[in-house]
Structure 1
Amino acid sequence: MSRYQSLIILGGLFVIFAILSNRFVTPGNLWTILRQSSVNLCLAIGMTYVILTGGIDLSVGSVLGFTGAVAAKLLKYGLSLTAFGVVLQFGVLGASIIALIVGLAIGLLNGLIITVFSVPPFVATLGTMTAVRGFIMLWTKGYPITKLGETFNFIGSGWILGVPTPVWIAAVITVVASVFLRFTRFGRYVYAVGGNERAAVLSGVNAKRTKLITYMISGFLAAVAGLIVTARLDSAQPNAGLMYELDAIAAAVIGGASLSGGKGTIEGTIIGTLIIGVLNNGLVLTGVSPFWQQVAKGFIIIAAVIAERIGKGRE
């Protein structure tokens, strides 16, 4: 029961909402759940890597918003180099690559602050979250950037072989992340650092480098999520990504990741993400206020942490 509790919860929610709404179990709605969950899954996988090392990344929502805005502005207006009197124009590929590099750089910054200056992850990423949110306003001047073109929109709203593009992107990321975590030396280092950092260091593991890489992964995947959201909405909104870090943390914790580090799986994070997706969708279909959705997710996180603590105490 303890091992499969998140899967049982997912099945229970599915049955409840299927009974309460006849629109829940329809092909269109199920694809909607998967498409919406794809964004959170990208964030949650990066968050899982960070949590496994005993850290936390509160900046993923801001990184999502900023990288989406970077791609949108470069795609629509280009980059003006006033000193040289030149305006660089970007295609979809170029703008997307720049956005991914920006996300990677912010993750690197988070990792350096935490590993070099020994700043607690909560404080470091809280500061980054606030600063990056300010950069979004400076970059967009508080206005949305819209009409980005059909080619870019395909990233968020297209279909490939009858499956939404975001689902394909999330699936590829999931497979790669799971393989790296389960079958590589780096994956074992991640678990070792989170389980007992001192023992890992004494065993020859470079704990600082391992943590640094996990924050870079988190920043990169937040940028991927930013591209998906911006492409799907055909707009880069200044407030994009607000509170997304809550869903990412909730998905990882509900899926079995321990906030103290060293415990968790990508498979569990997938189930946690689907629980959040089903919960959000089901509450909307049954007419529940969005404010109650936040209340429900907050209590779910608390319940998941309490269950994890109880299980750990028994062990």
Structure 2
Amino acid sequence: MATKELTKKRLNSKTTQTLLAFASLILLLLIFSFASPYFFEFNNLIGILLATSVNGILAVGITFIIITGGIDLSVGTVMTFGSVMAGVFITMWGLPIPLGILAGILAGALCGFINGISIAKLKIPPFIATLGMMMITKGLNLVLSGTKPIYFVDKPVFGLIAAQPILGIPLGVIIFFTMAIIASFILSKTILGRFTYAIGSNEEATRLSGINTDAWKIAIYSLGGAFAGVAGIVMASRLQSAQPALGAGYELDAIAAAVIGGTSL
């Protein structure tokens, strides 16, 4: 009986949190609509979605990590690292754009993998491990780019990754929504999702039940890094450049977005 009451209270709390988030969003929309009569114009709304798509992709990736009870302070600079790596491959080495995109995403996944190894195997607290990765990638971004932006002006096709409209909606927005849907499916329908929740609920009990929690945590952090890499590609495409100093502070926006979306810290 007590368990049922506790479960009911948790569900009510989550429902209240979700309703408050939606109420706050509606209130903001009303305020902005009164501030400007052009706010609800289609082009303006699409512009807002495109501007927030990068933060959205980061938030989707970090959601997996937060659910496990971890944190990733490096997603912002890892995002930039992904864009810088794509710039190095495409503009400096002259490799095809698809290979550059793949390099950026894999660079993000590699950073996440190292974070996962540090946390799961070396038992370094997530805050410390990811803070270290943030410092490392911040330095790498400056070294690889020579402290200067890497421009894609001679690669106009690269700019289409974020801006190319499909039925009037920019591809960057479609990428964000697609990744959110995929993440929702993974969390609700796959073994990775079940183990993500299990680790976050009680990691020790999950480990004692025979599940290799270390391997799954490494996979989860790698996935978060890959999402950051995708965000970096979208950001670079939108700006038509890889900005080595960009990225710091994005981790706070991503964490805030994930929490507002209903993920509990």
TM-score w.r.t. length of structure 1: 0.77
SS of 2:24's partner is helix
1:29 to 44, 52, 69: 44
Could you tell me which amino acid in structure 1 is paired with residue 28 of structure 2?
L
- Ranges in structure 1 where 5+ consecutive residues have no aligned partner: 79-88, 260-315
Name the residue aligned to 2:129.
Answer: 124
Name the residue aligned to 2:57.
Answer: 42
CA deviation vs aligned residue, 1:27-49 (integer Å, no higher than 9, x gap): 11100111112111110011100
Q: Determine if contact 2:115/2:130 at 8 Å carries over to the other structure.
A: yes
Paired residues, what number? 249
CA distance in 1, matches of 2:187, 2:234: 24
1:171 to 171, 174, 177: 177
CA distance in 2, matches of 1:40, 1:212: 23
Identity of counterpart residues, as a percentage? 40
Name the residue aligned to 2:202.
Answer: 196
CA distance in 1, matches of 2:109, 2:189: 23
CA distance in 2, matches of 1:210, 1:7: 32
Higher mean displacement: 97-106 or 131-140: 97-106
Superposed CA RMSD: 1.1
Could you tell me which amino acid in structure 2 is paired with residue 125 of structure 1?
T
Name the residue aligned to 1:249.
Answer: 255
2:102 to 77, 91, 97: 97
2:67 to 35, 52, 59: 52
Q: Determine if contact 1:58/1:125 at 8 Å carries over to the other structure.
A: yes
Q: Determine if contact 1:41/1:248 at 8 Å carries over to the other structure.
A: yes
How far residue 148 of structure 1 moved from its aligned partner, in angstroms, is 4.5
Q: Determine if contact 1:60/1:245 at 8 Å carries over to the other structure.
A: yes
Could you tell me which amino acid in structure 2 is paired with residue 124 of structure 1?
A
CA distance in 2, matches of 1:2, 1:76: 46
**CA pair 133-196 structure 1, distance change in 2 beyond 3 A:** same
Could you tell me which amino acid in structure 1 is paired with residue 249 of structure 2?
M
Could you tell me which amino acid in structure 2 is paired with residue 27 of structure 1?
F
How far residue 191 of structure 1 moved from its aligned partner, in angstroms, is 0.5
Could you tell me which amino acid in structure 1 is paired with residue 242 of structure 2?
A
